[in-house]
Chain A
Amino acid sequence: MFFEDSVLMSRLLTFLTLGFHVIFATVGVGIPIMISIAEGIGIKKKDPHYTLLARRWTRGLTITVAVGVVTGTAIGLQLSLLWPSFMKLAGNVISLPLFMEVFAFFFEAIFLGAYLYTWDRFKNPIYHWLLSIPVVIGSTLSAFFITTVNAFMNAPQGFETEGDKLIAVDPFAAMFNPATPTKVAHVISSSYLTSAAILATIAAFIMLVRKSTIYHKKALKLTVAATFIFAVATAVAGDSSAKYLAEYQPEKLAAGEWHFETEKNADLIIFGTLNENNEVENAIRIPGALSFLAHGDFNAPVEGLNETPEDERPPLWIHYMFDFMVMIGFYLVGISFLFLIFWKMKRWNEYNRWLLTGLAAVGPLAMLAIEFGWIFAEVGRQPWILRGFMTVAEGATTSPHVGLMFLLFLGLYIVLGTGCLVVLRKIFKNNPAELELESRYPHVKESDKE
């Protein structure tokens, strides 16, 4: 039974832990910057609405960071527990970014604790705001370092092999491998995007089900504007990722795009199905677009999957992951742009129900796109754990108990996930922003002009 297959179960358990962790890691990277922006605006404009936004987001962040930290600790240990042979080999080359990631995390942890517990401590609010800067730097740097590790697994370099030993190790060459720039840019921009989108969802949702107050209108404008900027940045980074793939990991792009024959002027395939002969049916084809995506030239040749030996090909279902991710990305750019146009065109009401409904969906969709994109990137390098050097099967533990551990962790994540939702609800449900605004800043009236 598959339950006994330690390689498969190790993969599933890693998927479970990372899939759960990525939710909290993403908001952990992106929300601090939103908080810092809101608090900064609040201080500059002397507008308590923004300060309250920062305060309330921070309270939510505490909960998600806690889950992010404990699941991050889990994956940190699971790397060695589930992939001991991989860590033994790669540990020689990737220790540096792993180590630096912990430093960045340490830095963030120190200042996050200081930030959370000193809201009313300083006479000059600038000092409190300054504490948010190292939190943003720390969380973004840890995303940077850990992404270089993943980039290394996709594009291993910075060492030579001698038998089964790695020699002539160059830690910096390993860290700054060809996959690093595009991966880092895409991971960080999409984390910012997703966090902004989730906060936009909250504002839009409250305006739909309760009433629209000035507070929520300001929240929506700030978060949707941020969503738009980060969505554009993510799209640009995503485009360079595709160009990277075409050059260095053509089999991943080819599997993701169902592109079998090497050809010029290659079509981009959107959705569709495969028949038993691996021919694409029911798909939308955009002529030449894949060549353009891969090389910035409609006539450039794109390497097909048939060039890759059959046992080194990733599974073909990742095509859907790629399509979903890209589609959501376009939706995010589009709807946030629409809102900005409505906002700037004074005659149109940017708070109409249709637009709000569309905006209420951006957060969950962005998070789904994160998961899809991550699955595409990870499954797309199958069967390798270290592309070209070590397969997943060679890296896994031989312990027979992985199946049981999977159940143990499944239970843990259910408890943590539920606990997180319950507590978040408890914090905000009986304490709406209007009430808190009134009690904290009694001189501000709802009728105050924007």
Chain B
Amino acid sequence: MSYEYIGITVLWLFLYGYLIVASIDFGAGFFAYYAKLTKQDHIINKLISRYLSPVWEVTNVFFVFFFVGLVGFFPDTAYYFGQSLLVPGSIAIVLLAIRGSFYAFESYGSKDNHVYMFLYGATGLLIPASLATAMTISEGGFIEETANGVHLMIGKLLTSPYSWSVVLLAIVSVLYISSTFLTYYAHRADDEPALDIVRKYALFWSSPTIIASLTTFIALSQHNFDHFQKAIELWWVFGLSVAFFMIGLFLIYQGKYYGWAFIAVMFQFFFAFFGYGASHLPYIIKPFVTITSGATNETMGITLIIAFIGGLLLLVPSLIMLMRMFLFDADYVQGKK
């Protein structure tokens, strides 16, 4: 396998990692605000902040990792994304900033502030939507290159059924992933009332997730038939995704093995995400950047991969330590530490 493919696989893994950890976070924000509106916040908000406070910075790094890695492995993407995404990108940064500061600020009182809770909930939905836009744009047809540089065709983006179905899919997936995780976490914490609420969320958001996945597929066939066809060739990958969806949903419905249910949800998105990514190739940004034309030179590519392996040797044990401290330590989860 050449270094470009290793590079894109690594990046895709990190983006997938971000998809999972950030979804938990973003969805939790929405649920926290919803619980406040329905006066159930005293039941679940403690649970949410107990998990999220120690890990929010780590969540953020997954994202930084992805975009720094993308620019590193494929510097041309910096040019096309940078030129076309100034406005949506800046808005996403502002939303992320409001949200990121929340964790530090909330421990000291802003939790009771209605406006801040609203922003916290709203950003949980707006950030995935705005980040999904970058995905949409990479399909081609939304940016043009003229003599004055590269521009985003905002009007086309806003009227495209495909872009809206991606946004919808992003939002409902976030809520589904988050609620299944919280179900697992509430179960770990032996917190029956919270479990009861978040389990209902999980069951509720399952059907929009699968419906939105299908409509996105249909919209993709309208927007970018080549990509659609490549995806069809990988039908078994998407088939696996649907199978894991059924397993996850079944386990949650049964009310047992919530840990396995969440792992099934992770596999569901893993296969969907990798199927999408694999069928997107060779284009990174259609039609301007392909995986070979946009890659950095070979020396740098190989050095980056070596650095990456070195970094992982350091990170994986540390991440395991963090998870054992805050995720799998029953006493901590139950609030005894």
Contact = CB atoms under 8 A, between A and B. Distances in A.
Q: What are the 4 A-B residue pairs with the smallest beta carbon separation, nearest first?
A: A91-B75, A95-B72, A84-B82, A66-B104
29 contacts: A77-B89, A78-B90, A79-B78, A81-B82, A83-B82, A88-B75, A95-B72, A95-B300, A95-B304, A96-B300, A98-B72, A99-B308, A103-B307, A103-B311, A103-B314, A105-B64, A106-B61, A109-B58, A113-B54, A117-B326, A121-B337, A134-B318, A169-B299, A169-B300, A399-B87, A404-B87, A405-B86, A419-B101, A423-B104
Given A106-B315, A170-B299, A412 B82 contact: no
B100 interface: yes
B86 A99 contact: no
A114 B57 CA distance: 11
A386 to B, nearest CB: 14
B158 interface: no
Interface stretch (B91-99, B200-208, B240-248): B91-99
B77 to A, nearest CB: 8
Contact of B304 (A83, A99, A412): A99
B105 A63 contact: yes
Contact of B57 (A69, A74, A101, A134): A69
B83 A397 contact: yes
Interface string A41-82: 000000000000000000000110111011111101111111
Contacts of A441: none
Interface in B288-316: 296-297, 299-300, 303-304, 307-308, 311, 314-315
A102 B304 CA distance: 12
Which secondary structure dominates where chain A touches chain B?
Answer: helix
A312 B322 CA distance: 51
B75 A109 contact: no
Given A81-B82, A105-B61, A100 B108 contact: no
A62 B56 CA distance: 12
Contacts of A91: 71-72, 75, 78, 296
Interface in B79-124: 79-83, 85-87, 89-94, 96-98, 100-101, 103-105, 107-110
A192 B311 CA distance: 26
Nearest to A406: B90
A84 B79 contact: yes
Interface string B43-64: 0000000000111011011011
Interface residues of B, number: 66
A417 B303 CA distance: 39
Nearest to B93: A74
B100 A69 contact: yes
B110 to A, nearest CB: 7
B7 to A, nearest CB: 10
Given A95-B75, A110-B58, A426-B109, A70 B100 contact: yes
A85 B75 CA distance: 9
Nearest to A112: B57
A134 B299 CA distance: 30
Nearest to A87: B78
Contacts of A66: 100-101, 103-105
A117 B58 CA distance: 14
Contacts of B303: 96, 171-172
Interface of A: 62-63, 65-67, 69-74, 76-85, 87-93, 95-96, 98-103, 105-107, 109-114, 116-118, 120-121, 134, 166-167, 169-172, 397-399, 401-402, 404-405, 408-409, 412, 415-416, 419-420, 423, 426-427
A96 B297 contact: no
Q: Which of B91, B93, B296, B299 has the most CB of A within 10 A?
A: B93
B236 interface: no
Contacts of B75: 87-92, 95
A81 B85 contact: yes
A362 B281 CA distance: 56
Given A106-B58, A106-B61, 7 more contacts: A66-B104, A74-B93, A76-B64, A99-B308, A105-B61, A412-B98, A419-B101
A262 to B, nearest CB: 39
A45 B188 CA distance: 40
A84 B83 CA distance: 6
B325 interface: yes
B87 A401 contact: yes
A73 B307 contact: no
Nearest to A88: B79
A121 B326 CA distance: 12
A323 to B, nearest CB: 35
A409 B94 CA distance: 7
B38 interface: no
Given A95-B73, A106-B65, A399-B86, A423 B109 contact: yes
A423 B82 contact: no
Contacts of A169: 297, 299-300
Contact of B101 (A67, A109, A167): A67
Contacts of A427: 108
Given A73-B64, A419-B105, A398 B322 contact: no
